Structure 1
Amino acid sequence: MDVVNVDGLTAGWLAGVLGREVGELRVERVGTGQIGACYRLRFGDETLLAKLPPADPGERDMMAGAYRGEVRFYQQVAGTVAVRTPYCHHAEIAEDSGDFVLLLEDLAPAEQGDQIAGCTVEEARAAAVNLAGLHGPRWCDPTLAEVDTLSLNGPEEIALLLEMYGPTTELFLDGLGDLVAPQDAATLRACVPVIGPWLLARQERFGLVHGDYRLDNLMFSPDSTDVAAVDWQTLSLALPARDLAYLVATSLAPDDRRAHERDIVAAYHHALVGYGVADYPFDLCWEDYVFAMLQVPLVATFGCAYSTSRSERGDRMFAAMVARGCAAIRDLGSLDVVGQ
């Protein structure tokens, strides 16, 4: 690979990728880069973003699978779906390490969502419709398994996760302490014994699942009508409604969700039908949405408990996600649906 760190982001390399002269190049660090590093490349009146792994070789190799998943998304998947993402000019990863580089469209002046503050109903609806552009075009497409980073998980693949889920939930609760209300702690613990059947259920409906489709991974245009999804390291094949439930539950205040979630799910379903999804009536979509709510505690507990960069903001973010998600699980009776 020509680029393994920021020193490789030269005008000559960029010109070779773009196939034209770029003139003087300025490279600026963007964001904190918890599992990678992002740089804005300025040349003339243009800007692009370059995404690289962290400097530490051990961290690179530990996250190599996640990096490969994101690179494969841009190489093999993005052009076959309709979800709005940054346009990718170049995607490359080493075969034997976590060295990679992505050269992406700069979405500025779009702004990142705020997971703690939440969003408006209109923003949640726009994000849900955009999500249908990921799920709909390749709904239940068996050729997705030809991508070397994608497969449906069976009992053997999830065995370690099942073994860890109970202790991880307790680690999460111990770490966040009073940030988690007692009723939410009880809901989190009630999810532990049913997560195995939940993970293996409903695999007859599968599709591309972002896995972490939430506000911090979404970019909103100034008028909030255009939404783009970023950070594709957790892409997998699973029940598509997992993304939808995770988005709606973690983004909206409980009162807003209760009042508007059915309309948001209907907008998502309408968009799916527009992409040619058949034999999937709204009532079944709604049932999948209710069932899929356990995506929130699953992702939040693991994400927080094993984060390598714990922070006050991060703890408050995970606490907010879990509070909203647990309220949705109780409101909708999701645990009862899973147990059926």
Structure 2
Amino acid sequence: MATSPTIPENPGAITASWLQQAFKSGGNPNLPAIQDVALEEIGAGVGLVGRIFRCNLTYRGPEPHGPQSVIVKLSSPHRETVEIARTLRLYQREYAFYTTLAPEIPLRSPQLFYGNFDDASHRFVLLLEDLRSLTTADQIEGASATQARTAVRAVAEMHGRYWNRVDQPPVSGFHSSSTPERHSLVQAVYQSSLPTVLERFGYLFPDSLRRLAEEFGSSMVGYLTAVAAGPMTFTHGDFRLDNMFFGRGSGEFAAVDWQVSGIASGLSDVAYFMSSSVSTAVRRQIERDVLTEYHGIVHASGVHDFTLEECWRSYRQNMLGCFRTPIIAGGQLDFTSDRSRQLADVFLQRTLTAIGDLNAKEFLPTRS
């Protein structure tokens, strides 16, 4: 039986020997001998809760049959970020996704070659397929109409598979967004983050949306309870353009970064994507058509008790909840690079505009 390699504490520990052992432990004992590995960090400066490295491999022998490159994902070197990840179970969730659910879902994700998670330290490692043969898009620029439709079609297939069928393993073992404890935790983190966001990005908030952001924080538990009363499915949770890969052929698509995957409203993925990753102009142009197609795919999967009108209402309701991610991230993460600051600006501006466009304030719980 292969011995599991240790979880690397830093990129210097990702050696040819470590990779060979990881491949063997993960069920690839016949991989050619790795002679050397060259690391390059990718995704730096975009608010990642961890570090990602592309490992370019050199093999011994003239005709190697192993991958030319792989991806290694590690936990963050920053203690504060690791504590956020521990509180929200981010690394644990992604490890669980790749080891239990990824092989069966209809939405493509990178193949897992090896994974390990240590509960005591909350450190983890994932050795993944490199999707460099696919293309990416710039979240700041935003998805094209074609890319947006491709992404929503793909996530609709996944949502339809598990729609109101989340009580069976392996999905039942995943984090649920519908627990009272979760609601209170998210509310507390949101409310502690909002003052910092208003200080950093206050120029993006019209007075009406500043007030709405504050009111949403104080009434979040009631809002989340109302959302949880609707249909539940398995969701990606961070369904935005920086986590997507597109093929050159029609419809080819893959998603990465499953750290916040779990049980939630399916329309939360759609609202989050449309508000964060599609320019306001494109969103306004395709929004209705995209939701109609999403509903059709979910309906075709056997969900016949969810009308198009209910789908649109759930989308608008979940759009109000899109306050959470940019405000929590904007208040908790460090935006030291120009890229991360620009991304936060665009993300928040699009979200605020979408919340206003869809009159999502309607779904703010009334105070008794």
Aligned to 1:26: 37
Aligned to 1:317: 343
Q: What fraction of aligned residue pairs are identical, expressed as a percent?
A: 24
Letter in 2 for 1:69: R
* 1:275 matches 2:301: yes
Aligned to 1:112: 136
Letter in 2 for 1:281: T
User: 1:147 deviation in Å?
Assistant: 5.2
Aligned to 2:327: 301
Letter in 1 for 2:121: S
For residues 10-52 of structure 1, give each alpha carbon's deviation from its aligned partner in whole angstroms, at most 9, with x where no partner exists: 3431451312132324231231454222222324463221212
Aligned to 1:129: 153
Contact 2:15 2:37 survives alignment (8 Å):
no
User: 1:184 deviation in Å?
Assistant: 4.4
Over 3 Å counting, the alpha-carbon distance change for 1:56 and 1:330 in structure 2 is closer
Letter in 2 for 1:26: V
For residues 208-249 of structure 1, give each alpha carbon's deviation from its aligned partner in whole angstroms, at most 9, with x where no partner exists: 222211111112234674221111111121111111111112
> Could you tell me the TM-score, scaled by structure 1's length?
0.89
Counterpart of 1:38 (choices 39, 52, 57) is 52
Aligned to 2:90: 66
Distance 2:102 2:273 in 1: 20
Distance 2:169 2:352 in 1: 32
Contact 1:61 1:97 survives alignment (8 Å):
no
Contact 2:117 2:123 survives alignment (8 Å):
yes
Contact 1:80 1:137 survives alignment (8 Å):
no
Query: Unaligned regions of 5+ residues in structure 2, if any?
Result: 59-63
Over 3 Å counting, the alpha-carbon distance change for 1:269 and 1:312 in structure 2 is same
- Could you say what secondary structure the match of 1:80 adopts? coil
- Could you say what secondary structure the match of 1:79 adopts? coil
The number of residues matched between the two structures is: 340
* 1:48 matches 2:70: yes
Over 3 Å counting, the alpha-carbon distance change for 1:83 and 1:295 in structure 2 is farther
User: 1:318 deviation in Å?
Assistant: 2.1
* Worse-matched range after superposition: 221-230 or 207-216: 221-230
Letter in 1 for 2:290: I
RMSD: 2.6
Distance 2:251 2:194 in 1: 36
Distance 2:288 2:294 in 1: 10
Counterpart of 2:21 (choices 13, 31, 46) is 13
Over 3 Å counting, the alpha-carbon distance change for 1:268 and 1:258 in structure 2 is same
Distance 1:101 1:27 in 2: 18
- Could you say what secondary structure the match of 2:321 adopts? helix
Contact 2:223 2:363 survives alignment (8 Å):
no
Contact 2:196 2:330 survives alignment (8 Å):
no
Contact 1:109 1:222 survives alignment (8 Å):
no
> Could you tell me the TM-score, scaled by structure 2's length?
0.83
- Could you say what secondary structure the match of 1:51 adopts? strand
* Worse-matched range after superposition: 330-339 or 277-286: 330-339
- Could you say what secondary structure the match of 1:19 adopts? coil
* Worse-matched range after superposition: 315-324 or 283-292: 315-324
Contact 2:153 2:297 survives alignment (8 Å):
yes
Question: Structure 1: which 4+ aligned runs deviate by more than 4 Å?
Answer: 55-62, 144-149, 179-184
Counterpart of 2:123 (choices 99, 106, 109) is 99
Distance 2:200 2:281 in 1: 28
Distance 2:74 2:144 in 1: 32
Over 3 Å counting, the alpha-carbon distance change for 1:59 and 1:155 in structure 2 is closer
